[in-house]
Amino acid sequence: MILKGNRRGGAKDLALHLMKDENDHVRVHELRGFVAGDLLGALNETYAISKGTRCQKFMYSLSVNPPPGQTASTAAIVEAIEKAEKVLKLSGQPRAIVFHEKNGRRHAHAVWSLIDAAAMKAVRLRNDRTALQPLTRELFVRHGWKVPDGLLDRENRDPRSFTLKEYHQARKHGRDPRTARSAIQTAWAVSDSKPAFEAALEERGMKLAKGDRADLVCVDMFGEVYSLPKVLGLRIKDVRERIGSERDNPDAFRSVDEAKAQTAALMLSTLGRLKGEIEESKDRKTEEFERRKADLVHRQRLERQSLDRRQEERLAEEARTRQSRFRTGLKGLWDALRGHSRRTRTLNEDEALDALRRDREERDSLVERHLEQRRHVDLFRMQLRREFTHERSRIERDIGTYRDMRRGYSRDGPEL
């Protein structure tokens, strides 16, 4: 089903639009949670309740369309609406469902009230289009319809082309069943035969295999096993009709252990490349650190030289000023006899001592600032060291896991 929804106001306009006689047939299938018994009255009821809040767009309207050339039963369309309601977290909200038929096509519209009447506030609805896309893709797969390119999940990539960031993202989300389910459904939707399905799975880092109980399974890049009929929501008979049966041709399907071993061999090659990229990145960032450190040391040395030069010039100027306080000749003799020269000498000595303390404090302040700058640079180095140690240990741990996975098969079969 193609699901398209939006928030809106205008209860009367929406009701009149949904009941237009330009359609060949219009039928109100359901009015749930309303006092009114007709669509216009129900939506106006929602409008009246919304006046007790500040919500302007108090309804959510969803169209449910089978793709061109396809039809869906009433039960299938209502089921899609029920699933959408859960995804949108609108369960229990008043709802109207209207079916339209026109030009040989049948589709439906569902309208929910977005006002929580008990709390008298609007229901929060965020990223509805993003939330509905996986459901749209799931419905296409379940009905066996070709999935439009715009609905294909592009996030599940071939691990062989992973960057380090992409590998970490895949590792973070890889054991989420929803991620694997989406990848398998997308591969199934774009395939019409076993070779095409296997190729589509390979592009998403997965492999087709035969399970222990005559089941067909998929093995993901982390060695997790998923039942194909269960993920697709199909009968095993329907799956075998497209890709064949392991009973008819046992050699055409690898075992789960073999699939894991092949996956391990592929991932060991990928992880070896990523480990090399980590080392290259470490060398590159270490060079950057050394350059930053050298630049900082050079700048600090220039600042200290400048400070030394300024202090020396100031001390010389202050010394000349203090010396000029002593008079010469008879005046100087008179100053000595009356004790003025002694007081001037004491003053000069005190000022010179204060000047030395001032210069020392000024220099200490500069040194402290330089030490703080250097600590920031060293912090960058420690962060680099922790980052690369952590990344390297994770990669090496994963390499060990994949080696164990590969050895688990080689004990009973050929070494890959």
Average pLDDT over every residue of 235-252: 73
What was the pLDDT predicted at 129? 80
Please determine, for residue 416, whether its predicted confidence score (pLDDT) is greater than 50. Answer: no
Which segment of 19-28, 98-107, 130-139, 295-304 scores lowest on mean pLDDT?
A: 130-139
Specify the range with the lowest mean pLDDT, choosing from 39-43, 77-81, 141-145, 328-332: 141-145
Q: What is the mean pLDDT of the chain?
A: 83
Q: What integer pLDDT is reported at residue 227 of this predicted model?
A: 86
Task: Give the three-state DSSP class for 259.
Answer: helix
299 pLDDT tier (thresholds 50, 70, 90): very high
Q: Rg for the chain (alpha carbons), in Å?
A: 39
Q: Tell me the CA distances in angstroms from 130 to 64, 78, 134, 151, 180, one per residue in order.
A: 16, 21, 8, 11, 18
pLDDT top residue among 160 and 189: 189
- Rounded to 5 degrees, what are φ and ψ at 389? -65, -45
Higher pLDDT, 241 or 43: 43
Q: Which two tokens stand for residue 281?
A: 């990145």
Tens-digit pLDDT profile for residues 248-270: 565 678 888 888 888 888 888 88
Half-sphere exposure of 232 (CA within 13 A, CB side): 25
Rounded Cα gap, residues 266 and 200, in angstroms: 16
Instruction: Name residues whose C-beta falls within 8 Å of residue 187's C-beta, 6 or more positions apart in sequence.
Output: 197, 200, 201, 203, 204, 206
Give the span between the Cα atoms of 82 and 95, in whole angstroms. 11
The whole-number pLDDT of residue 118 equals: 85
Model confidence at 412, pLDDT cuts 50, 70, 90, reads very low
Reported as a single tens digit per residue, the pLDDT across 196-214 is 888 888 877 888 888 876 6
**Cβ atoms 125, 60 nearer than 8 A:** yes
User: Residue 158: its pLDDT value, please?
Assistant: 57
Categorize the per-residue pLDDT at 160 as very low, low, confident or very high, splitting at 50, 70 and 90.
low
pLDDT, residue 97, reads 94
Rounded CA separation 366/362 (Å): 6
Whether pLDDT at 415 is above 50: no
Confidence label for 316 from pLDDT (cuts 50, 70 and 90): very high
Domain extents for the chain?
A: 2-132, 159-254, 279-410
Of the two residues 414 and 51, the one the predictor is more confident about is: 51
Closest CA to 206 of 256, 169, 240: 256
What phi and psi, each to the nearest 5 degrees, are found at residue 308? -60, -45
Q: In angstroms, rounded to a whole number, what is the distance separating the alpha carbons of residues 159 and 161? A: 5
- Tell me which of 28-37, 69-78, 186-195 is least confident: 186-195
Highest-confidence segment of 91-100, 322-331, 335-344: 91-100
